[in-house]
A = this chain, B = another copy of it.
Amino acid sequence: MDRRHTEKNEEASAQERPTLKTLAFMTGLGVTTVSRALKDAPEIGAETRRRVQLVAKQIGYRPNRAGVRLRTGKTNVISLVLNTDREIMSFVSDIIYGVSEVIADTPYHLIVTPYSRSQDPLDPIRYLVETGSADGVIISRTQPNDARARYMLEHGIPFATHGRTDMGLVHPYHDFDNHAFAVEAVRRLASMGRRKLALLTPPVGLTYYGHTVNGFADALSEVGASEIPFSTVSIDHSIEQIRTRTAQLMRRDIRPDGFVSSAAAATLALVAGIEDAGLKLGRDVDIVSKQSSDLLHLFRPELLIVNENFRLAGSELARSVLGWIGGAAPGSLQSLSVPGEVLAYQRSLD
């Protein structure tokens, strides 16, 4: 009896996630007392309560959700029930619907784990891994040297990234070929006689920033066009900032006669800035823009458009994670989506 007790807790204190039993052993109390002390039950002595809570905080105790749920029936889950049809122009909803589609006839649930700009992006990942809250993880905004991917690889939790990394580590991903997008975009603009091109880039630091910039540069030299630098903003900036900077740029002596834009919302601001400067789309300047839902041509029919399908991305990412969980080789779960042709919606000018 005594031996068993000790074994158990030596093991526990070594590696595993701490449980009430661990805390009980450390404090020398019973698990019941610990449980009650943590929830401020009245029949626990003030000092004991403080002591238990201190130790719990120190070793980072977090109650096991399955234990609580099994015992009490409390799930600590809020469900948001969504209709998957008819939703428009949104990275987030498209990805969610794509994932949902794939896991619909599996026993899996989709939880959304948010984090904000001010937080370390690693925080939510750490939480998921430490609490064992998920069998698999999908992340976006992937960087060439991505701490999150590295962390998950080290901890052996299956995941998929939206966008590639560049660390010499192999893991599932889905990516849009932004190099090809930029190349096609530049070629198209060049074919229309545009020679001074500017790029409204993806967020600096993300992997596809590099892909896009390189594709842009490669194609520039291919077609013999020149770049007008426009690095004061990226698609991550606010609509107002992009608009203002664009207007400034277009009022200069040497200004671009063509743009490549990496996001639809940013393109709206781009056009507004161009028009603020008194110039006209289709006459003074042309734009090739990515979009994820079919709305830009309504905005200005002169826009040249390349579609990126985020719903597909969501599906692919879900498939990859499930595949990895199911034992497939991570290296076999990578996919790249190639851009379709540049679409022109321009109608006759009256």
Contacts and interface: CB of A to CB of B under 8 A. Distances in A.
Interface string A78-99: 1111111111111111011101
Contact of A125 (B69, B81, B271): B81
- Place the interface of chain A in its size category: 35 or more
B113 A111 contact: no
Copies assembled: 2
A24 interface: no
Given A135-B76, A239-B298, A265-B295, A124 B81 contact: yes
Contacts of A110: 77-80, 111-112
A322 B298 CA distance: 41
Nearest to A62: B107
Contacts of A79: 110-113, 128, 133-134, 136-138
A100 interface: yes
B298 A78 contact: no
Contact of A298 (B74, B84, B128, B271): B271
Interface stretch (A46-54, A114-122, A333-341): A114-122
Contacts of A66: 65-67, 69-70, 75
A344 to B, nearest CB: 16
Contact of A117 (B65, B85, B104): B85
Interface in A272-287: 272
A75 B116 contact: no
Interface of A: 64-67, 69-70, 73-93, 95-97, 99-101, 103-104, 107-117, 121, 124-125, 128, 132-141, 236, 239, 243, 265, 268-269, 271-272, 294-295, 298-299, 318, 321-322
